[in-house]
Amino acid sequence: MQFELNKKYIDDLKKNIVEHDEDSAIKLLYELHAADIAEIYDDLNVEEAKFLYLLLDGEKAGDVLAELEDDDRERFMKALPSEVIAKKFIDHMDSDDAADVIADLPDERQEEVLSHIDDVEQAGDIVDLLKYDEDTAGGLMGKELISVKESWDVEKCIAEVRKSAEEIDEVYYVYVVNDDNILKGVLSLKRLIIAGNKKDVKEISNYDIISVKVDIPEEEVVNIARKYDLVVLPVIDSIGRLVGRITIDDIVDVMQEEAEKDYQMVSGITEDVEPSDKIWVLTRARIPWLLIGLVGGIFGAQVISSYEGALAQYASMAFFIPLIAAMGGNVGVQSSSIIVQALASKSAGFDSLFMRLLKELAVALLNAIILSLLIFLFSYFFYDSLPLTISVSVSLIIVVVFASVFGTFVPLALDRFKIDPALATGPFITTVNDITGLFIYLSLSHYIFSNFGS
C-alpha cells in the first residue's frame, strides 16, 4: 500500500537508530517500498543512513540506492567502502541503474567497485554500458531483456522466458532476433499466453517494430516513446543488433528532467534546487541570472545617464521607463518560450525561418497596436503632455515588435547551430530587450520633447 511519510514515523526510526535497535528498525522498514525508504534519506545524516540502509537485504538495498536523488547518492557512497557498494548494492541492481551509480563515482573508485562485483555477467554488462554517453539511448538502456530466435516454437520460447524471468523484474515483451542477433520483431507476453504451444514464434510475432539506435540523444528517445505510447523500447546498434532495452520509468525521468531544466531556465535558476537544499546551494543557483540582470541594469543606467540633461529638463520622460523595460522583457520571454516548446516537441511544422518571423511580426504588431492604443488613452487623459503620450505609444510599438522578432529569432538560430534553444528563454533575451527598449524610448522621447516642447 502507499505510505505517507510523517514526523512520528521518522522520530520512531531515529530513536531506533540512536539506540542501535536493528530489529525494531527493520520492522519499521519492512513493509515500505524502496521509493519510500529512499525518501527517508532527506531526514537522515550520512551515518544514520548507513546504519539503516545496510540493514536491508540485497534486492531492496539496490532498489533504494537506485531511487536516491543523485547528489544524496553521491554523498552516501562517499561514506561506504568500495566492497560494500559492490556486494551490498551493485550486485543486486538492474544494469542500467548500476551503470548510472558507478558512472557518478570518481574514476579511481569505479574500477575498485567493479573489481568487487561477484556476478561477472553483471560486471560485464556495466562495463559495456559505461561506454555510452549518458545523454543517449545507450546511456538510458539496460541489458535485462529476453530474446528468442525467430525459428523457435512457442514452447521453446516459454522455456526461455522461464529461464530468464527469474533475474528480470518486469517483462512485458520478448524480442525476436535472427541467428546474428539482429532484431526482427517483438512478441508480447499476452500473445505468448494466447497462442497454442504448437505455434511458431514467427507466426505470432509483430514485425512492425519501433526501435532506437544506441547513439541517438535521449530527447529523441522520449519523443518516440511518447508519440507511439511505448512502455519499453528496444535499442539496436548501427547494424541492427539488439543491444538493450529502455523502460518507460527511465523515459519518464528524462521527461521530468527536461521539463524541470526548461522551467528553471525561464525562471532564472541555474541548478536543480529544492527549498530543503542548503542556503549556499540555493544562492549559487540564483546568483548567475541575477548577475546578468545586474549587468543589464548597469547598461540601462548608462543609457539613461547619457540622457541626464534631457531628463533634468523634461522629468516626465522618466515616467514610462519601467513600463517600456517590462514590456520588452515580457514579450521577449513569451516569444522565445513558444518557439522553445515547439522545438522540444518537434511540433514547429515546416514553415521556413522567414515565414515564421513574418508571422511573429504579424502577432507582434497586433499585440503592439492594442497595447499602444491603451497606453495612448491613459497617458492622454492623465498626463496632459502630448510629447510624452506620443513618445510612449510609438516606442511601445517599436519595442514590442523588436522584442518579439528578436525573441523568436534567437532560439531558432541557436537551434540551427545545435545549441540548446532554451538558453534564449533565460537572462540574455530579457536583458537585451530591456536595454534596447530603453534606448528606443529615450532617444525617441528626447527627440520629440526637444522638438515639440513638454
**Residues 156-175 contacting a second copy, CB under 8 A:** 158, 161-162, 165-166, 170-172
Q: Are 232 and 146 in contact (CB under 8 A)?
A: no
Q: Which of residues 403-442 bind a second copy (CB under 8 A)?
A: 425, 430, 434, 438
Which stretch, 20-28, 77-85, 114-122, 372-380, contacts a second copy (CB under 8 A)?
372-380
Which stretch, 45-53, 108-116, 133-141, 257-265, contacts a second copy (CB under 8 A)?
257-265
Q: How far is CA 241 from CA 182, 293, 334, in A?
A: 4, 51, 44
Which stretch, 19-27, 74-82, 176-184, 340-348, contacts a second copy (CB under 8 A)?
340-348
Q: N- to C-terminal Cα distance for the chain?
A: 73
β-strand pairing of 147-149 with 173-177 = parallel
Is 26 among the residues that bind a second copy (CB under 8 A)? no
343 forms beta bridges with none
Using CB atoms within 10 Å of the CB of residue 296, give its burial: 0 to 12 exposed, 13 to 18 middle, 19+ buried: buried
Is 7 among the residues that bind a second copy (CB under 8 A)? yes
Is 309 among the residues that bind a second copy (CB under 8 A)? yes
Query: Of these, 103, 293, 376, 443, which contacts a second copy (CB under 8 A)?
Result: 293
Query: Of these, 18, 19, 27, 35, which contacts a second copy (CB under 8 A)?
Result: 35
Which stretch, 14-22, 53-61, 74-82, 278-286, contacts a second copy (CB under 8 A)?
278-286
Is 240 among the residues that bind a second copy (CB under 8 A)? no
Question: Is the Cβ of residue 82 or residue 205 nearer to a second copy in the bound state?
Answer: 205
Structure-block grid coordinates of residue 442: 529615450
Opening angle at CA 376, ends 375 and 380, nearest 5: 115
Q: How far is the CB of 89 from a second copy (least distance, A)?
A: 18
CB atoms within 10 A of CB 76: 21
Query: Of these, 374, 384, 447, 452, which contacts a second copy (CB under 8 A)?
Result: 374
Is 16 among the residues that bind a second copy (CB under 8 A)? no
Is 373 among the residues that bind a second copy (CB under 8 A)? no
Q: How far is the CB of 110 from a second copy (least distance, A)?
A: 26
Task: From 234, 215, 48, select the one nearest 143 (Cα to Cα).
Answer: 234
Gap between the Cα atoms of 108 and 116, Å rounded: 14
Q: How far is the CB of 109 from a second copy (least distance, A)?
A: 27
Residue type for position 141:
M
Gap between the Cα atoms of 138 and 133, Å rounded: 7
Q: How far is the CB of 137 from a second copy (least distance, A)?
A: 13
Residue type for position 413:
A
Is 348 among the residues that bind a second copy (CB under 8 A)? yes
Question: Is the Cβ of residue 296 or residue 387 nearer to a second copy in the bound state?
Answer: 296
Gap between the Cα atoms of 335 and 164, Å rounded: 52
Q: How far is the CB of 46 from a second copy (least distance, A)?
A: 18
Helix (H) or strand (E) holding 176: strand 173-177
Which stretch, 53-61, 70-78, 117-125, 319-327, contacts a second copy (CB under 8 A)?
319-327
Per the listing, cell 527493520 goes with 26
Per the listing, cell 548577475 goes with 291
Gap between the Cα atoms of 41 and 274, Å rounded: 15
Is 255 among the residues that bind a second copy (CB under 8 A)? yes
Structure-block grid coordinates of residue 358: 513574418
Is 371 among the residues that bind a second copy (CB under 8 A)? yes
Q: Are 117 and 144 in contact (CB under 8 A)?
A: no
CA 208, distance to chain mean position in Å, is 30
Question: Is the Cβ of residue 42 or residue 128 nearer to a second copy in the bound state?
Answer: 42
Q: Which of residues 84-123 bind a second copy (CB under 8 A)?
A: none
Which stretch, 17-25, 83-91, 118-126, 273-281, contacts a second copy (CB under 8 A)?
273-281
Q: How far is the CB of 18 from a second copy (least distance, A)?
A: 19
